[in-house]
């Protein structure tokens, strides 16, 4: 199946700094990617839909100014957590669609000190 990668796999940052997470489709082009967040012992929560060449669509309750999404090419979407705080510490997962099937990245664990 298609492969989706994320970088970095884990990151630790200080409170107040911004962190960028990359999501790449390695062997296919993806006009649509999705970003999820997962807290410990909880299910994945959809944050936003990333569309190549246009603005992302955010789910209710997700702050678009805090979680900046850029989908500038057909193989790359980025999620920037701005002014991160400890409550933003979570497991962030992206996914991309290839031939109507959705493939998930391995996730990025963010820890904000």
Which positions touch another protein (CB under 8 A)? 1, 4, 6, 32, 34, 36, 43-46, 49, 91, 93, 95, 97, 101-107, 109
Shortest distance in whole angstroms from residue 113 CB to another protein = 20
Residues 6+ apart with CB under 8 A from 15: 84, 85, 86, 112, 113
Residue 45 or 82 with smaller CB distance to another protein: 45
Helix H or strand E segment including 57: strand 57-58
Shortest distance in whole angstroms from residue 107 CB to another protein = 5
């Amino acid at each position: 199946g298609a492969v989706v990668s994320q970088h970095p796999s884990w990151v630790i940052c200080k409170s107040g700094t911004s962190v960028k997470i990359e999501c790449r489709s390695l062997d296919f082009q993806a006009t649509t990617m999705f970003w999820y967040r997962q807290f410990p012992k909880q299910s994945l929560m959809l944050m936003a839909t990333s569309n190549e060449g246009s603005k992302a669509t955010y789910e209710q309750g997700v702050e678009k100014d805090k979680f900046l999404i850029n989908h500038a090419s057909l193989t790359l979407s980025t999620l920037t957590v701005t002014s991160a705080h400890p409550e933003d510490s979570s497991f962030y997962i992206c996914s991309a669609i290839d031939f109507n099937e959705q493939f998930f990245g391995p996730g990025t664990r963010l820890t904000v000190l």
